[in-house]
Amino acid sequence: MRRFLLVATCLAGATLAQAADAPGGEDPSILPAGQGQEEVFYACTACHSTAIIRRSHFPREQWDGLMDWMTEKHGMNPLEGAERTLIVDYLTQHFGPRAAPARGRNPFLN
Ligand code: HEC
């Protein structure tokens, strides 16, 4: 966290305006299209890029727990109610656990 703040402070002067609406030059289309895409993008990129999300594959309970962790440890605005459901649903649908390798399954019959 301390390192993060330091980096954020250094970058702030030069790129604050830019970083505020396009963290790391990303926009919502970097995430898979679907309901919740924009909500996730704007709720989650205040502090880090989407890379940390895109490389993750968690079951629903873990995404849900991460929302509390991000709030308690890192000061994210608490996500509650319908918005939380939308965001956790989106994350689970697009960044859920990887399916087990479908060995022996006919790829043409999927
Ligand atoms: C208030 C700041 C803040 C917000 C907003 C935020 N995060 Fe984070 N998040 C962090 C910090 C800080 C870390 C730790 C980064 C590190 O370890 O380098 C982190 C780490 C993570 C990780 C990695 C966890 C792990 O154990 O590998 C994931 C996944 C993640 N965030 C997802 C999200 C998602 C999804 C959202 C939006 C719902 C979000 N974050 C919003 C601050 C935030």
Residue with tokens 């301390």: 2
The predicted-structure confidence for 7-59, as pLDDT tens digits, reads as follows: 444 444 444 444 445 556 899 999 999 999 999 999 999 999 999 999 999 99
For ligand 1, atom 43: residue with the closest CA? 47
**Which pLDDT score, from 0 to 100, does residue 19 have?**
43
The predicted-structure confidence for 66-97, as pLDDT tens digits, reads as follows: 999 999 999 999 999 999 999 999 999 999 99
| Distance between Cα 103 and ligand 1 center (Å) | 34
pTM for the model stands at: 0.78
Q: Report how far residue 37's alpha carbon sits from residue 40's, in angstroms, rounded to the nearest whole number.
A: 5
Cβ(88) – ligand 1 distance below 6 Å: no
Query: So where are the chain's domains?
Result: 23-97
Give the pair of three-digit tokens for residue 104. 């022996």
Cβ(31) – ligand 1 distance below 6 Å: no
Give the pair of three-digit tokens for residue 46. 């205040």
For ligand 1, atom 26: residue with the closest CA? 66
**CATH 1.10.760.10 for domain 23-97:** yes
Q: Which amino acid is at 86?
A: L
Q: Report how far residue 60's alpha carbon sits from residue 95's, in angstroms, rounded to the nearest whole number.
A: 9
**Which pLDDT score, from 0 to 100, does residue 65 have?**
98
